[in-house]
């Protein structure tokens, strides 16, 4: 999710940032304009004629700091590098480290389990005790899944609960937001808990009706979208800020500025009370089957009891594949926290768990100076160098799982069209924050040679100067585009220069 789900699209444009002058032309003289081709028979002569990589960087217009490295995947030999020891924010490239960490600690077939437990016997369809919804951390649990669990409870013959309805998320700590420095309203920065629902986001929808607005807050999924009261919205007359948030104890209280709404629309907002959110939605779904539950009671430990319904997630390998494809921050944080728990660490914060992951990455992956503050890359205080990322990717390649989980990034021509059946393949993880852009992964060249690369760039001064409340501050998009164009130019260079 980074600062949104904007997939990288590698264009083949080598004229970066609109630079078309003679100096830029000289800087890019050796680079292919249309398609990648194998090197001529005398590769040493071709390499000697190629413009130095610094000219390519200078022509890009990317401000701030840049570090990259490309290496041979089989031998680990470094082929080209710039500031490879420079630590920069890795953004969502962090998720590649997290995936390796989770696979090592939990195994590819690990599944998260959500349960309904009865603390007393069941007699004539009545639970003679409490009914407890126990979260197992499943990051993919949604309203439709809870609906299936409610239906299974009915199928099991349950029609009443004599005791209380209780909720337990104690498998993982509850953390109100991944990164407190992000704008309060962005859906990619939700709470993290042992009981997560709909990626801990609530769907806000509005429509103008005459001189006022109708608003709805619901737990939207594909089949079911029950309204909720745990998150509330009020439209107010003001110019700004667009959104405000208040922790009202029992609910998330939001306001939105009327001039920002237009005629209608919708967006996802983060949930800060995930256990209460899941409890309210399950109550509604159970009631649709005639099972009326009391107001929820929240527990700090999993009670003894009989499991009435259990829902298992997809295998971890598939969950991580989706995480790397869509860059879901909640999935990364849950996977990292669960891995730390499995390693015997019981973290209370994301930073504590990420510190354990950093130690592991130094020992197991050779990322000697990895210093991460979370598992998703959303926090900009994390530091990782291109050298350490390449070492981590080389180690992950030897382990054999991660490369196959990474998303294929197609090469495109100047018109933005995918070049079909292109001989050069890129599997990588992107990373984007405002004024931070990263890309790391694997390149298969036209000759079949495999390369491993990492590219990090950041203009931390511009990032620090950006207003905190702005989701995308002025200048962030053009800077990101220039950095991505440079990434493309470097991949073009490496695919051509190091094909043999």
Render each residue's pLDDT in the chain as its tens digit; 500 residues: 555 433 344 443 333 333 223 233 323 223 332 222 333 444 443 444 456 899 999 999 999 999 999 999 999 999 999 999 999 999 999 999 999 999 999 999 999 999 999 999 999 999 999 999 999 999 999 999 999 999 999 999 999 999 999 999 999 999 999 999 999 999 999 999 999 999 999 999 999 998 899 999 999 999 999 999 999 999 999 998 999 999 998 899 999 999 999 999 999 999 999 999 999 999 999 999 999 999 999 999 999 999 999 999 999 999 999 999 999 999 999 999 999 999 999 999 999 999 999 999 999 999 999 999 999 999 999 999 999 999 999 999 998 889 999 999 887 776 767 878 877 799 999 999 999 999 999 999 989 999 999 999 999 999 999 998 889 999 999 999 999 989 988 998 999 899 98
Q: What is the model's pLDDT at position 414?
A: 67
SS3 content of the chain, % helix, strand, coil (to 5): 30, 25, 45
- As a whole number of angstroms, the distance between CA 64 and CA 85 comes to 16
Instruction: Return the closest-CA partner of residue 354 out of 327, 323, 381.
Output: 381
Q: What is the model's pLDDT at position 51?
A: 62
Q: What is the model's pLDDT at position 19?
A: 28
Instruction: Return the closest-CA partner of residue 103 out of 324, 373, 281.
Output: 324
The CATH architecture one would assign to domain 112-313 is 3-Layer(bba) Sandwich (3.50)
Beta strands across the sheet bearing 65-72: 78-82, 65-72, 450-458, 436-444, 425-433, 407-408
Q: Is the dihedral of CA 367, 370, 375, 379 positive or negative?
A: negative
Whose tokens are 């470097």? That residue is: 490
- As a whole number of angstroms, the distance between CA 193 and CA 205 comes to 25
CATH of domain 16-107+316-497: 3.40.710.10
29, two tokens: 């003289």
H/E element, 495:
helix 476-497
476, two tokens: 């962030």
The reported pTM is: 0.89
- The phi and psi torsions of 247 (rounded to 5 degrees) equal -80, 105
Sorted by where each begins, the domain ranges of the chain are 16-107+316-497, 112-313
Q: Is the dihedral of CA 168, 173, 174, 178 positive or negative?
A: negative
Please say whether the beta carbons of 88 and 483 come within 8 A. Answer: no
487, two tokens: 């990434």
In this predicted model, what pLDDT tens digit does every residue of 241-266 receive, in sequence order? 999 999 998 899 999 999 999 999 99
Q: Dihedral angle at the C-alpha atoms of 63, 332, 410, 423, nearest 10 degrees?
A: 110
- The phi and psi torsions of 108 (rounded to 5 degrees) equal -65, -25
- As a whole number of angstroms, the distance between CA 286 and CA 455 comes to 50
Burial (0-12, 13-18, 19+ Cβ within 10 Å), 157:
exposed
Instruction: Return the closest-CA partner of residue 487 out of 428, 439, 425, 422.
Output: 439
Q: What is the model's pLDDT at position 334?
A: 98
DSSP state string for 414-471: TTS-B-TT-S-EEEEEEEEETTEEEEEEEEE-TTS-EEEEEEEEE-HHHHHHS-TT-S
- The phi and psi torsions of 237 (rounded to 5 degrees) equal -90, 105
- As a whole number of angstroms, the distance between CA 332 and CA 94 comes to 9
- As a whole number of angstroms, the distance between CA 364 and CA 104 comes to 10
């Amino acid at each position: 999710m980074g600062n949104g789900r904007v997939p990288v699209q590698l264009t083949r444009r080598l004229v970066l940032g609109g630079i078309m002058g003679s100096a830029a032309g000289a800087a890019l003289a050796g680079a292919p304009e249309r398609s990648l081709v194998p090197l001529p028979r005398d590769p040493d002569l071709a390499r000697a004629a190629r413009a130095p990589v610094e000219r390519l960087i200078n022509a890009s217009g990317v401000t701030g700091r840049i570090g990259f490295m490309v290496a041979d995947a089989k031998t680990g030999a470094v082929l080209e590098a710039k500031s490879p020891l420079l630590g920069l924010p890795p953004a969502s490239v962090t998720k590649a480290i997290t995936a390796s960490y989770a696979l090592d600690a939990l195994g590819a077939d690990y599944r998260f389990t959500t349960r309904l437990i009865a603390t007393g016997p069941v007699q004539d369809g009545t639970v003679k005790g409490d009914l407890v919804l126990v979260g197992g951390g499943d990051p993919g649990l949604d309203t439709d899944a809870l609906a299936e669990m409610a239906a299974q409870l009915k199928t099991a013959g349950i029609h009443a609960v004599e005791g209380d309805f209780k909720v337990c998320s104690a498998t993982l700590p509850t953390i109100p937001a991944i990164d407190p420095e992000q704008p309060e309203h962005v859906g990619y920065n939700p709470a993290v808990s042992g009981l997560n629902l709909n990626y801990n986001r609530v769907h806000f929808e509005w429509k103008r009706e005459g001189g006022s607005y109708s608003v709805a807050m619901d737990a939207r999924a594909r089949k079911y979208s029950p309204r909720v009261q745990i998150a509330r919205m009020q439209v107010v007359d003001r110019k700004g800020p667009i959104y405000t948030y208040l922790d009202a104890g029992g609910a998330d209280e939001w306001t939105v500025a009327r001039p920002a709404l237009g005629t209608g629309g919708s967006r996802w907002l983060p949930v800060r009370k995930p256990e209460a959110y899941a409890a309210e939605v399950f109550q509604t779904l159970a009631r649709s089957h005639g099972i009326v539950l009391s107001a929820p009671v929240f527990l700090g430990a999993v009670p003894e009891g009989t499991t009435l319904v259990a829902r298992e997630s997809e295998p971890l390998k598939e969950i991580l594949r989706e995480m790397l494809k869509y860059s879901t921050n909640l999935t990364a944080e849950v996977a990292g926290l669960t891995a730390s728990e499995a390693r015997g660490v019981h973290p209370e914060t994301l930073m504590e768990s990420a510190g354990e992951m950093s130690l592991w990455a130094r020992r197991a992956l050779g990322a000697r100076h990895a210093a991460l503050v979370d598992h998703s890359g959303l926090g900009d205080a994390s530091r990782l160098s291109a050298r350490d990322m390449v070492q981590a990717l080389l180690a992950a390649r030897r382990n054999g799982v991660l490369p196959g989980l990474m998303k294929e990034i197609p090469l495109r021509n100047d018109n933005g069209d995918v070049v079909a059946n292109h001989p050069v393949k890129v599997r990588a993880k992107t990373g984007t924050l405002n004024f931070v852009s990263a890309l790391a992964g694997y390149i298969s060249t036209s000759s079949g040679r495999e390369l491993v690369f990492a590219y990090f760039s950041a203009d931390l001064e511009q990032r620090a100067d950006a207003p905190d409340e702005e989701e995308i501050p002025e200048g962030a998009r053009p800077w990101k585009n220039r950095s991505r164009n440079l990434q493309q130019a470097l991949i073009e260079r490496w695919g051509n220069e190091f094909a043999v």
